[in-house]
A and B are shown apart, each in its own frame.
Chain A
């Protein structure tokens, strides 16, 4: 494994034991849509810090009605989050995830999304051209359960699958070329609450055995 010290600075130790790492692979591939949602992923202080920084960013709203409505910002312009993105790009973190999922992780290019009432993405906004791992780092706090905002996956011909919003979680989903994902419309029950996500799509170069 790569830079262990860097990993231990960021990630909750409960996810770093060999038993926990082995369990991830089992759970990931046990689902019809290979996926896992790891709760309390980061050390609490780190998660809170990233949340505070995400809250303070000046976002630009991007609205293409038949595709999406959300706020975003260019990664390069968010210097305060550079340590976090450097960590995501570190050999240590990629080695950890690679060990968990038995896939080589080459690049994690993050996108920051902030969604509030009336925001959404539609399935046709996601373009999956080859087997892809979708990473969704969730920094959404105090999210009312009936507000929408869930991550939905349409796995081709099978039934859709949903993942709830959960602060300080990492959701990893394996998407095949005929599948789509979306963020469910956020309804009025959300009030002034906001969804904060850091999302990354990583196409898999080498076909997996699953």
Chain B
């Protein structure tokens, strides 16, 4: 039986259930209808051994402290041209037409460019990211792969999404996502896509790989 070439290309990285036709349709519905703005959370996303490879590779990277009015966190340099075979291979998968087509089926956002921002981030204790919408230049989808251990809400580092008023100003938090290991979250970037990461109240790590798809 002929295998779907997309599934074959991607299943080395991603657990197969995420390509099941029924699931993709369900993801598309959820993405469109999720409040306060289009977003999706997918659990158990990466193949377990790939999660370990990525996390190990990321832990070896050099992180620089970024400290501004909006955030206090640690970031790597842009990783898409990294010497790491793991990152290079992962980025190739992310920027492939197969993955982009899968993403387009879910988000209905067409004509994504194949240059993707791809950065490692860690939030140390007291690290945070205050409310903002990510709206800038050609950003269309913000994505984050959560690589470190699951934390409970009281440990901080929670992704929170804001409702907006008629003037597109954020008002209050209406959805909260504590860190869950091996999940992928992506948000549709608009002038209403306000979100924040709450202050880390633990010494545990909040390691992620993420960035933006542009269009």
Contact = CB atoms under 8 A, between A and B. Distances in A.
Interface of A: 64-66, 118, 120-123, 146, 148, 152, 154, 160, 180, 182, 184-185, 187-189
B143 interface: no
A180 B70 CA distance: 13
Interface stretch (B6-14, B110-118, B127-135): B127-135
B194 A65 contact: yes
A154 B67 CA distance: 12
A189 B69 contact: no
A184 B70 CA distance: 8
B128 A65 contact: no
B162 interface: yes
Contact of A185 (B130, B171, B194): B130
B202 to A, nearest CB: 10
A66 B169 contact: yes
30 contacts: A65-B130, A65-B162, A65-B171, A65-B172, A65-B194, A65-B196, A66-B131, A66-B132, A66-B169, A66-B170, A118-B199, A122-B70, A122-B130, A123-B68, A123-B69, A123-B70, A146-B126, A148-B72, A152-B68, A154-B69, A180-B69, A182-B69, A185-B72, A185-B128, A187-B126, A187-B128, A187-B199, A188-B199, A188-B201, A189-B126
A208 to B, nearest CB: 26
Interface string B121-150: 000001010111100000000000000000
Contact of B131 (A65, A121, A180, A182): A65
A123 B126 CA distance: 20
B151 to A, nearest CB: 15
Contacts of B68: 123, 152, 160
Contacts of A123: 68-70
Contacts of A66: 131-133, 169-170, 194
A188 B69 contact: no
Nearest to A117: B199
A121 B131 CA distance: 11
Closest A-B pairs by Cβ, 8 of them = A65-B131, A182-B69, A187-B126, A65-B170, A123-B69, A66-B131, A122-B69, A66-B170
Contacts of B170: 64-66
A185 B197 CA distance: 13
